[in-house]
Structure 1
């Protein structure tokens, strides 16, 4: 089944921004999956605030 963009209605669209802003509770434990989640998020935060971190480091 081929759908075209003209076939979608704007009123039926779901906002992804509200889903992305929700905080989901997560139970951390001492395993590989938790380690990967934490490492991924720490790297993302460091990359996001890299300039600020370097500014503080070289004061």
Structure 2
């Protein structure tokens, strides 16, 4: 796993953690927004992984 991939996974983790906190305290639109951002970034990472298989 490259440094860039690790940073992107950390960003996804933060989006999900913050999204959970927002949802937990009733800030639904912010929570949903963060979860959607995490989903998009994860989709991009998976697509890149499929296009660049390990040697």
Shorter chain as normaliser: what TM range? 0.3 to 0.5
Instruction: Give the alignment's TM-score, normalised by structure 2.
Output: 0.40
Question: Where is the helix percentage greater, Structure 1 or Structure 2?
Answer: 2
Please report the TM-score for the alignment, with normalisation by the length of structure 1. 0.37
